[in-house]
Amino acid sequence: MLQKINVLAYATHPDDAEISISGTLLKHQSMGLKTGIIDLTQGELGTRGSKEIRASESKISSEILKLSVRENLKLADSFFEINNESLLLVVETLRAYQPDVVLINAEKDRHPDHGRGHELLKRACFLSGLSKIETFRNNILQAPWRPKSVFSYIQDHFLEPDILMDVSDFWQLRMDSLLAYSSQFYNPNSAEPETPISGASFLQSIEGRAIQLGRTINVKHAEGLRKVTPIKVENLFDILPK
């Protein structure tokens, strides 16, 4: 049975979506829309924690975000390739949830998995609409589906956004969803090795960027998105600032 998801985020690693666009997901969920996250890998090569710990943290975060669905495709962290197998796995999820809007990893970033994940997901969004590509879920042939819009989110490296989302009302809750990954982010009591994202300054940088983006649209906190597919509007007044 189809479980329609309105806004579906894909993330190369568990916590990628929480770092970058969890406020956007919360905002759309508050509007009565269904949201979800599909993680490509289990983050098993992360310096801190383990894939089992990540899975537990992901569950907690999903509850905070009130997601309607979360799946993990269990591709190999840092070693997944853009091949038939990985493309078809993503196509199967797109057809299963038929999202109107898809959010994907940044096209380039500090971690090479993010850019590779971007290309994999962008291709899968196109292939999912081709009727001669057959995929099955629960032994049932799936109908083709192509999302109406695909956007990428901004990660470690700053990229100029095309769209800014006011997430001021959801800021604390989105940070709670991020801090659910207690093995990965700042914890003064942790004895694990330091990483580029484990210090207090990383959390400060996330809010600093949100404040900077928010200033450009005169709000307290904003998250940025970049268009991957063209944005269709009926007239120019559809895109005037509110």
Choose among 19, 20, 16, 21: nearest CA to 7.
21
CB contact at 8 A, 6 and 99: yes
Per-residue pLDDT reduced to its tens digit, 142-162: 999 999 999 999 999 999 999
Choose among 89, 84, 118: nearest CA to 104.
118
**173 has pLDDT over 90:** yes
* Measured CA distances, 27 to 54, 203, 231 (Å): 24, 21, 20
Average model confidence (pLDDT) for the chain? 96
* Measured CA distances, 167 to 8, 71, 96 (Å): 17, 25, 28
Q: What is the pLDDT of residue 125?
A: 98
Q: What is the pLDDT of residue 190?
A: 86
**1 has pLDDT over 80:** no
Bridge partners (DSSP) listed for residue 137: 140
Domain 7-239: give its CATH architecture: 3-Layer(aba) Sandwich (3.40)
**Residues in the chain, total:** 242
Q: What is the pLDDT of residue 242?
A: 73
Q: Residue ranges per domain, the chain? A: 7-239
